[in-house]
A and B are shown apart, each in its own frame.
Chain A
């Protein structure tokens, strides 16, 4: 066992950071870039600032002056949601010895915890006379309340009903925000421009589409907003912002320390009094969480005039490997706890097919069922589209005179160029169908139309594996290996489709 005399060991015991490395603060970030990624799991729900599950890649440039020898560069003002393992630092003249991220924040509780066992001054003020008494003492415990020791004996903080607090004399090495530090060794003093990039959670974005269906139902105007959200307490001024669409793999970090900032919990002994009554129900206390849906996202859209909205600058699309990157064309400021919207696309006169239809499991009785309506179109130039559409939500509207009518909100998956896609636009109670299976194994599907116009109806069957359609009285086509009947429904009339399935054998 080595027992070397180490004169600085005592100092190290006082300050958790190594004492032999000089602390250097990196300059403020410049040339900021924020790329937002979506939560892979979120389908089409509204953004909630307190529950953002996406993340961002933040890149920034900082100036730092390094002395010769070992120094610890501290990067203040990084996003609170930083994933320390993901940090990349380039531009250092010397090698990086180690990177550290301290999640122990400067908070009242952390300060007290740090001062555990050390000398503090208890400041007590007489409320009436204003006389302040300062008595030296030592914090003995800071779990679930604070116990301190003074010349008079052992007391608990803030249990007496007198205004009392601690005054800390020593400087603290805790910082206000999670601080990233890098230990480097430099041969000579140097000034370096460092590029720091890291992934951070507490960001998200969504694509919100608005489809305006023309009164005759043959075309739609499709517009979309990209909604960016930053739940971090850090702002990104004048940043280059990008959003990235597509699905990429992430793995949960289960062993990363979560930054904790706690108030001083001056918990006391039981303080029940003789006049206590049972606490009233706290149901009324829970304020509803902030939901974007009610404030910015859809609300904007509902209030939107029928006349075309003022032209917004669209984001620029580029290919990033197998993902899509949308660049906000101008530098933008993403402030702390903010939701921001930029225009994704604006396409007018997209030809669509309005289709009534229903999905049925073959050979099963089904009581009356409402038909679903979908808009079908293709993502290509001929259909006035032809750009990658990131997944999101589509709110579809029908204009009626000067007012808009919300038809439906539906999710949309990632649509590549050239793909056919469908947008759900709700149900029609005027078109109903039911299915009955007769004793002769013939299925009978009745489709009723209460609308004043004839329409095309699509009946999609789902067959059991191994079974096939062996007889039908309507023309049938195959889609994804399953039969689809195309039925013309007369105005205020009905149609009946009969079909039979079987399991043919090959010999």
Chain B
């Protein structure tokens, strides 16, 4: 197939994209969602019998060397090395210190070439050479000088290279499996949801998005995607410091099991056909396409503590739907991002925001916020705060809700920060205590109008 112009003069068995030593190989890649993949490379290797170094050149450039294992019958692994010493002009010259190179001086006037042997003395800042009995700095005069090296030093290679030194019991081809973990390959789900305002239904498409930034292309690989996060040891178990608690997206966890393949508690998404995952490629494969699922659109406002908002704050625009089989998407949803679209007045879909979802079992109810409502705002005000006896405080809250939309809306108003020791003394509308910490009111706001809600709280401090 390919004619090598130059013979490869290496005393090792090279397994890689070039020069093609063995072509009979099969790649199997299992990709976890959390930027982690297990690569299994099944191939035949030629054993010479005895001690031998096998190089694997097209492994992931971000391979985790400590996870490498080579399984083959009839050989003993002596050592595994991962060499990061890359072949660059500077390294080439550095390794040539103390050795002879050929220099070709080109006369810029005539083009005549003169060849000399030179001994490289040092490469600190500039290259100092010994030519005959003289010491010279390479190209100190700026005139053209070619430097020709006899060979590439043994441990320099074009890309990070994994090498395994083995002791083969016999010679001949044996099947072998190289497996390792690598970051840089990851997947997540991307969902496209088109909401139809007229009949309050959504169409949802799900795509598996596979990204490869591992520095290597994987040819014709059998790919399996695993939904679920395998536990990993983290160097920093306490995370990145304080982060505000995100708004929960799962309103009700489901209890239905679907027909997807499982392994333990992981869901498996095998790609139907073998695929090539090129470096720096993003690949998407469809896994879900559901039309006309009932969905609700509403508004939600959370006041995180019994406090005054600086100015009227927008309520969140929230979409709710189910993933159950009879009135919903009817599937498990692997973690990913759900993008919402809505048709404008000319019928063109426009993007209206996105929400991140976690692995969601079938039968769940999702409540996803897409952004702030321009026209629905809430001003929370502490009217009065008074001490009401020993360690008791009374807080009079007023919530002013405004709606600049030409239709009435209902705002799900949530007062958080009640800590379980706060009770509501009086309120202008009946609340539901969602939990010890949260009280909830469903406040109707007329079209182009406003509503008020007042409540008095008693808390201990």
Contact = CB atoms under 8 A, between A and B. Distances in A.
A257 B280 contact: yes
B453 to A, nearest CB: 15
Contact of B1 (A10, A137, A249, A465): A10
A104 to B, nearest CB: 5
Interface string B126-143: 110000000001111011
Given A99-B283, A159-B89, A506 B5 contact: no
A289 interface: no
A14 to B, nearest CB: 8
Main secondary structure of the interface of A (DSSP, over half): loop
Contacts of B147: 155-156, 159-160
Contacts of A149: 6, 152
Interface string B1-25: 1100110000000000111100110
What's the interface size class on A, roughly? 35 or more
**Most-contacted residue by chain B among A103, A153, A154 (CB, 10 A):** A154
A257 B282 contact: yes
B89 A320 contact: no
Given A154-B149, A418-B402, A480-B308, A161 B143 contact: yes
Interface string A293-331: 000000000000000000000000011111111000000
**Most-contacted residue by chain B among A102, A138, A268, A481 (CB, 10 A):** A481
B1 to A, nearest CB: 5
B355 A162 contact: no
B92 interface: yes
Contacts of B159: 143
Contacts of B175: 1, 3
Contacts of B138: 269, 271
Nearest to B212: A257
A145 interface: yes
A136 interface: yes
Nearest to B24: A3
What's the interface size class on B, roughly? 35 or more
Nearest to A251: B356
B387 A272 contact: no
Given A117-B18, A251-B337, A468-B384, A246 B372 contact: yes
Interface stretch (B226-234, B310-318, B358-366): B310-318
Given A143-B159, A273-B139, A320-B350, A249 B144 contact: no
B241 interface: no
A269 B92 contact: yes
A244 interface: yes
Interface stretch (B164-172, B257-265, B339-347, B428-436): B339-347
Contact of A160 (B106, B195, B273, B275): B106
Contacts of A17: 276, 278
Given A10-B23, A117-B17, A154-B152, 20 more contacts: A18-B276, A98-B284, A101-B283, A159-B89, A160-B104, A161-B143, A197-B349, A245-B374, A248-B354, A249-B353, A257-B281, A257-B282, A320-B352, A322-B352, A322-B372, A325-B350, A417-B404, A466-B385, A480-B308, A480-B381
9 contacts: A18-B276, A35-B351, A143-B88, A144-B88, A145-B88, A269-B92, A271-B139, A274-B137, A419-B402
